[in-house]
Amino acid sequence: MNQLNPYAWIDRSLETIRQANWYRSVRSIESLPGTQATIDGRVLINFGSNDYLGLAGDERTIRAAMQATQQFGTGATGSRLTSGHKQLHQDLEDAIAGLKGTEAALVFSSGYLANLGTISALAGKQDLILSDRANHSSLKNGARLSGAKVVEYRHCDVDDLRELLKTHRDNYRRCLIITDTVFSMDGDICPLPAILALAIESNAMLLVDEAHATGIFGKTGAGVVEHFDLVGQPLIEMGTLSKAIGSLGGYVAASNSIVDFLKNRCASWIYTTGLSPADTAAALTAIEIISTTPQLRQQLWQNVAALKQQIAERFPELRLISSQSPIICLELPDASTAMSIGIQLQQAGIFAPAIRPPTVPTSRIRLSVMATHQPAQIAHLVTAIAQIFTLTSVS
């Protein structure tokens, strides 16, 4: 008798993904995090890292993680409300609140979980969520999980947001606006002052995702909220410890009462194990470095300006997605061109991932600049782009 296979559709689905050039798989990086990445034994210049300040491979963060492991072990062994809370967690939360200028902060196992849990704790079936169309997956899925009515506004379009508020706001109990501050796959930043003004006018909550901004933007590295001089305004900030902070985990920074509410209502914080001592201590040390070393940020912005200027001067015909951050994307016509250029860059000694649908609407090569890149590494990238784009004649 022929047996039915309830899993057969999975192979068919994988085949469709392959045919669309959307198939993804992992690649091992064999070296310490930094401006070089060893892949298959070859040393490449790394333009694919979110470790913007080079702190994931910094000897001070590594030492802090090792010492915390020796002192407290490898795991937190329980959720924060049961047996998994340590003074180290509180110290990190105090440091995040200090950096952000908020009353309090709460640390999660990842930024993704911070968004899922916080958004679904803040909004429910009777509520409205307005979400930028280009928001990160974790914001979108947090909104879905909440059960609220979700309406997307056009990317960074304040007029569209205003119209949607006019149409929908009064039909719902509460309203939450959610947006990335730095858009992770484009590199542009949201018009935060105008969005905040609309939120205040409409009695709406505002949650901003500072994942790619914390440590980089603002005078003290607090993020885009500080960049726009909005510290102390009525908004909720979330972010990750895994990019400029160089560790693992997520956070929410907000008022005492919001943090207290999350400790009591946020499932992705309550029912999960506390952050490991190593991750916690590394993040704490990274925040100390960020707070005391503004030169790191200056170096990063110098590198960003140098790369943008060289690309603009040498390749005026190249399509760069408009960016105000260390994320610089070369827009390409389709997924197979993006894949092919990614491979050619790798052959020329550069690691920079091709990003394709469904992650983004259009295919691209995503370059991320680090504070620790040397001028010669940036020059190498520009030369590689020159060679490849002359051969491929893609503009």
Q: Which residues lie near ligand PMP (CB under 6 A)?
A: 110-112, 115, 136, 138, 180, 184, 209, 211-212, 240, 242, 250
Max Cα separation, the chain? 71
* Neighbour count for residue 313 (Cβ, 10 Å): 9
Active site residue 336: no
Q: Token match 């885009």: residue?
A: 224
CB of 113 to ligand PMP, least distance (A): 7
Neighbours of 147 (CB within 10 A): 14
Q: How far is the CB of 153 from ligand PMP (least distance, A)?
A: 17
CB of 184 to ligand PMP, least distance (A): 4
Minimal distance in Å, beta carbon 138 to ligand PMP?
A: 5
187 vs 394, beta carbon nearer ligand PMP: 187
* Minimum CB distance to ligand PMP, residue 178 (Å): 11
Which position among 100, 136, 212, 373 bears the catalytic label?
212
Residue sitting closest to ligand PMP (CB): 111
Residue closer to ligand PMP by CB (options 326, 378) is 326
Phi/psi of residue 58, each to 5°?
-75, 140
Nearer to ligand PMP, 329 or 388 (CB): 329
Choose between 100 and 212: whose C-beta lies nearer to ligand PMP.
212
Look-up: residue for tokens 């305004």?
233
For residue 207, which of 185, 229, 174 has the smallest C-alpha distance? 174
Least Å distance, CB 208 to ligand PMP, is 10
Give the whole-angstrom CA distance, residue 212 versus residue 139.
14
Catalytic residue among 243, 247, 363, 373: 243
Give the nearer residue to ligand PMP in terms of CB position, either 283 or 384: 283
Catalytic residue list contains 219: no
CB nearer to ligand PMP: pick between 140 and 389: 140
Please confirm, yes or no, whether 212 is among the known catalytic residues.
Answer: yes
How far apart are the C-alpha atoms of 351 and 331, rounded to whole Å?
17
Bond before 234 cis per omega within 30 degrees: no
Catalytic residue among 120, 138, 184, 202: 184
Which CB sits closer to ligand PMP, 109 or 303? 109
Residues with catalytic roles: 184, 212, 243
